[in-house]
Amino acid sequence: MEEDKLYSEIKHLRYLLAKVVGTQYYPKREQFSKVAIKKAASEFRKLQTERGEWIPEHDISKIIRKAGYRAGRFIIEKFNFKNYYIRGQQYFFSRKDLIELNKELKSRKINLGKYMELEEDKDKFLNYLNELKQGKKRRLRYKIPEQLKDIESQPYNHPPKEKVIAHIDLLMEEFNNDKLVEFIDIFNDNYAMYKQIYYFDRYVDPNIKKKCNRWCFEFNYAQTALREIKKIKSQVIY
């Protein structure tokens, strides 16, 4: 009798568990298969999404204002955001964790959209410098003459650090005197970016825009040179 009662309770418990999972109408052998559980989990997430517990990537800006395009993939890469899942080609993110992230960004005074622009601009600038070093066109076919060899150069002696710093000082003097803060953002004291706002850009004086772009390039170039000098340990003699 006790065994029959125990078996009956286990059977009932199995039915209740299948009902919770949503597989009670499956054949008994398939109720807890990997395929059934995966499908049930997908349906459960779908219900959570409909209730607003999971936010699609294109709606992140409703939680984190001014979040840019593909902000989800950005926070995964830069902030190691882990509470998300992918359905097809769409990313879904935990509303609760997005709210917590938004609070943290606000406490640190970080504008996510501006940070995304900054990282994109840095990548473009570094790619541009790499292109200058390597040359924009790469030949897919080449032939080196047999007799060509032993053509080398001694390690390059960089300019004095003081010379680069003096250039940066001149740029900062121009920045302050011409009140370029109205048109240029400087991040972490070492990277400058023109404040390009699509809706107002055509109303900016072209000369000012040209000047600002030139200033940003020279400032970023000098800051990059300064970082490279710090990596090189050669002694410079002038």
Out of 91, 110, 129, a domain closes at 110
Whose CA is closest to 161, among 115, 230, 73?
Answer: 230
Q: Is residue 139 in some structural domain?
A: no
Helix (H) or strand (E) holding 91, with range, is strand 90-94
pLDDT greater than 60 at residue 225: yes
Task: Report how far residue 228's alpha carbon sits from residue 92's, in angstroms, rounded to the nearest whole number.
Answer: 40
Residue 175 lies in a domain: yes
Examine residue 131 and state whether it is found in any structural domain, yes or no.
no
Task: Report if residue 210 sits inside a domain.
Answer: yes
Residue 235, pLDDT score: 47
* Better pLDDT: 1 or 70: 70
Q: Is this structure's pTM higher than 0.75?
A: no
**Does residue 188 sit within a domain?**
yes
Query: Which pLDDT score, from 0 to 100, does residue 180 have?
Result: 93
Contact 54, 48 (CB under 8 A): yes
Q: Is residue 133 part of a domain?
A: no
Q: Is the same domain home to 160 and 105?
A: no
Is residue 134 domain-resident? no
Other CB atoms within 10 A of residue 220 CB = 20
Q: How many domains, in total, are found in the chain?
A: 2
**Residue with the two structure tokens 């710090």:** 230
In a shared domain, residues 173 and 100: no
CA angle 186, 190, 195 (to 5 degrees): 25
- Higher pLDDT: 169 or 89? It is 169
Which residue range forms the structural domain that includes residue 48? 2-110
The domain boundary, picked from 110, 144, 170, lies at 110
Same domain for 168 and 225, yes or no, is yes
